[in-house]
Amino acid sequence: MARTNRLALLITAITLGVCSGMNFLYAEASVVKPQADIRWIKNPSPPFHILEGQFASYGLCDVLVDKLNQKLVPLSTTVDIYPQSRIDRLIENAENLCFPCMIKRQDSDRFVYSRKTTVYPPLGVILSKALLTELYPHQPQALSLNALLNNKSLVFGLAGARRFPDILQTIIDEHVGASNVHALPGVFAPLRLLLQIDLGRIHYTLDYPGVLRYFSMKENNQSLRYLPTTEFGDQSVYGAIGCTNNDWGKRAVRAIDSVLDDIMNDPEYRENQEFWLNTLPENP
């Protein structure tokens, strides 16, 4: 009988220990990691985010995030680096996040935007200097994107996930699926397109001069040329920070807006903007 009682006590102790362990694990799993006040999302997309090489951490958005994090103390901030496919899922799931380099737009169902942070030079056509001379013996000051797309002997390359201002996007949409329009996937698509142009496999693309500047310095290659389009002209494109449009995102944008004047006047931030864009930020 005593032996039976000891066995019963042992079984009871083991059972209680297992249950306690399970309860502890459940409690651990139930602890929710505190949400940062601002969660920055980056992807490797030079010259906006530069993760390696000579200009590592000196991208347009890298310096902006660093300066904001310094000014936003004591708010908690995190930085996550993801490929575009993961970022697309985060957006689809309406997760709390902020993108430091978006185009300034009206608030939408998905995003609420900060005040202006950046002045981008006009989007333009990038092609080889040799092709430009061949097509236009008397070189123009701007090129018609529509005319280029209507020339079926010329291949237009674009980044698959890229969207452009409406006036340019409408023209591109009319030619999507054509044999002379080629989309490249991936976050490095803009740089791969410039390499393909240099190799003569693609004839031209549409991008900012800062992207060409990064390519030219990284590859030590001066063979390409940028010209604005006749359709978009010399319009500047304004950048802003975009956060998820919910209470969390609105709080984040209010905090960001409260320190933007200091950021716009920061000498290092202005130097970075001039280096990549040859423009200075403005924030009326």
Place of tokens 């009682």: 5
Pairing of strands 224-228, 237-244: unpaired
- Residue 36 has a pLDDT of 87
4 DSSP 8-state letter: H
- Residue 164 has a pLDDT of 87
For 124, the enclosing helix (H) or strand (E) is strand 124-128
How many other β-carbons are positioned within 10 Å of the β-carbon of residue 238? 18
pTM of this structure: 0.81
- For residue 162, the SS3 value is coil
- Surface-to-core class of residue 208, CB atoms within 10 Å of its CB (0-12 exposed, 13-18 middle, 19+ buried): buried
- Residue 281 has a pLDDT of 65
- Residue 18 has a pLDDT of 38
Nearest residue to 124 via CA among 116, 132, 134, 135:
132
Whether the CB-CB separation of 40 and 77 falls below 8 Å is answered with: yes
Whether the CB-CB separation of 60 and 277 falls below 8 Å is answered with: yes
Nearest residue to 50 via CA among 40, 62, 41:
62
Distance (Å, whole) CA 77 – CA 38: 5
Domains of the chain by start residue, with CATH: 38-120+238-277 (3.40.190.10), 124-228 (3.40.190.10)
Residues in CB range of 89: below 8 A, 6 or more apart: none
Nearest residue to 226 via CA among 168, 118, 143, 157:
143
- Residue 178 has a pLDDT of 94
Q: At what angle do helices 189-199 and 209-219 cross, to 10 degrees?
A: 70
Nearest residue to 82 via CA among 120, 111, 39, 115:
39
pLDDT means per 10 residues in the chain (284 residues)?
Answer: 43 40 36 74 91 93 96 93 85 92 93 95 95 93 96 94 88 94 88 95 95 94 96 91 96 97 96 87 53
Distances (CA, A) of 99 to 5, 150, 173, 201, 230: 65, 35, 26, 33, 30
Instruction: Render 31-83 in DSSP notation, one character per residue.
Output: PPPPPPSEEEEE--BTTTB--SSTTTT-SHHHHHHHHHHHHTTTS-EEEEE--
Distances (CA, A) of 70 to 49, 74, 110: 18, 9, 27
